[in-house]
A and B are shown apart, each in its own frame.
Chain A
Amino acid sequence: GQQLNQSPQSMFIQEGEDVSMNCTSSSIFNTWLWYKQDPGEGPVLLIALYKAGELTSNGRLTAQFGITRKDSFLNISASIPSDVGIYFCAGPGARQLTFGSGTQLTVLP
């Protein structure tokens, strides 16, 4: 099946810093989705990307759909404590959504 490789696996940053994480695939995707998951809760959709090269923002979050359609990155600017959580990329195949392994973000005060 399709595999999504997410990096880094975990990050520790100081409050106020910017952070970047990315997701790569061996397959082409026509859509990239970014989700955030807090402990014990369901994934919450942050950003959806539908076109190669597309750059989309949602507040302090910015995501880009790679030109090759095999990668995407998510940036968070000026991190705050509530940014803590696991960030997943997800790529819909023809009939199902495949999730990356996640990036665990810790924001230190």
Chain B
Amino acid sequence: EPEVTQTPSHQVTQMGQEVILRCVPISNHLYFYWYRQILGQKVEFLVSFYNNEISEKSEIFDDQFSVERPDGSNFTLKIRSTKLEDSAMYFCASSEQGPTYEQYFGPGTRLTVT
């Protein structure tokens, strides 16, 4: 069964460093998303991406965040200058149709900023 994959599973970085989180969405899906989940809290939407551009972003997704689809299979989230409060699980998701349909999540990347 097709699934969303994410790398790395765990990333430790120092405050102020840049990180890139990688995702491979399900191959026939056209809509891609990033979410984050701070430990013990609910999943929060960051950004959605369709047709090579951002469709929607939340207030969390400020100028230090960016997304890119560098090739036909990868979808990346870059955090330019990490802060301690960026420590969280980051989930990539994809859907075949738009955001009002089923979204399938990857296993997540645990980001720890020290």
Contacts and interface: CB of A to CB of B under 8 A. Distances in A.
A59 B55 CA distance: 35
Interface stretch (A12-20, A69-77, A89-97): A89-97
Q: Which of A30, A42, A90 has the most CB of B within 10 A?
A: A42
Contact of B99 (A41, A44, A45, A95): A95
Contacts of A45: 102-105
A31 B101 contact: yes
A41 B100 contact: no
Contact of A95 (B4, B43, B56): B56
Nearest to A4: B42
A100 B102 contact: no
Given A97-B33, A99-B42, A101-B42, A42 B91 contact: yes
Interface stretch (B13-21, B63-71, B75-83, B106-114): B106-114
A85 B103 CA distance: 19
